């Protein structure tokens, strides 16, 4: 077996991916597909933390809900991430994996409260840890949550699974001729205004020297191949 490059990872799964590209809703086939990808990595012995988005259920920045103030909308979005986390937990456990959902908002009947040392201990015991409810605070995205949890749990990399295979100069779904970056610096991502990840998350990773890899989670074995050190997607790091 090839030597693994990363022994502890933080995987960020957007709500958009969970929706199967349909915008909104829960799609069992997507949860099953993603769970299989996670299982292939777990079988390599990789300690795996996961942050799930909630945009497939409710997006705090949705202008259709302009009568709801931003803080309240963000809390609604956090609750949406808990729904996704519990759903993903069930799919993973049906495939024989041990998991824990840790929520930044206390809801003991559903999930354990987020405690950094507890999260690390779960990872050390081989459990998949799913971080729900964002940071527990409004005005922060789940991208920022992913960066923060990666730093707190001493993950070696943030892997952001999307529906595109990396960072492009323009939107590849609109411009088929868009040029792709195989690697780039944190500051270049911010300077060029590329919206693949929010600036707070990028800055956190830059300050703590945690590389970010943007990749297509829906391509079979992409996640596993990244763990095995293959060049997949776009890596963002200090240069």
Domain layout of the chain by residue ranges = 8-237
CA–CA dist 122, 127 (Å, integer) = 5
CATH 3.40.1160.10 matches 8-237: yes
Taking only the tens place, the pLDDT of each residue in 55-69 is 888 875 556 667 788
pLDDT of residue 144 exceeding 70, the answer is: yes
Q: Exposure pattern of 159-175 as b/e (b: 16+ CB <10 Å)? A: bbbbebbbbbeeebeee
pTM score, two decimals? 0.93
The pLDDT of residue 84 is 96
The pLDDT of residue 65 is 63
Q: Which residues pair with 102 in a beta bridge?
A: 112, 131
């Amino acid at each position: 077996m090839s030597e693994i490059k990363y022994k502890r990872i933080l995987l960020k799964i957007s709500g958009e991916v969970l929706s199967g590209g349909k915008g909104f809703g829960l799609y069992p086939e997507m949860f099953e597909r993603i769970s299989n990808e996670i299982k292939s990595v777990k079988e390599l012995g990789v300690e795996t933390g996961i942050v799930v988005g909630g945009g497939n259920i409710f997006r705090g920045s949705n202008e259709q809900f302009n009568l709801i103030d931003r803080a309240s909308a963000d809390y609604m979005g956090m609750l949406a991430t808990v729904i996704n986390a519990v759903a993903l937990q069930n799919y993973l456990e049906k495939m024989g994996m041990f998991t824990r959902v840790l929520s930044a908002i206390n809801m003991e009947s559903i999930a354990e409260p987020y405690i950094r040392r507890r999260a690390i201990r779960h990872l050390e015991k081989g459990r998949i840890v799913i971080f729900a409810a964002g940071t527990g605070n409004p005005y922060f995205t789940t991208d920022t949550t992913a960066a923060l949890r990666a730093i707190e749990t001493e993950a070696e990399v943030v892997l952001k699974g999307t529906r595109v295979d990396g960072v492009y100069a323009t939107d590849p779904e609109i411009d088929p001729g868009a040029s792709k970056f195989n690697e780039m610096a944190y500051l270049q991502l911010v300077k060029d205004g590329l919206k693949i990840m929010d600036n707070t998350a990028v800055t956190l990773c830059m300050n703590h020297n945690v590389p970010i890899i943007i990749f297509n989670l829906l391509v079979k074995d992409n996640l596993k191949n990244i763990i095995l050190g293959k060049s997949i997607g776009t890596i963002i790091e200090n240069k």
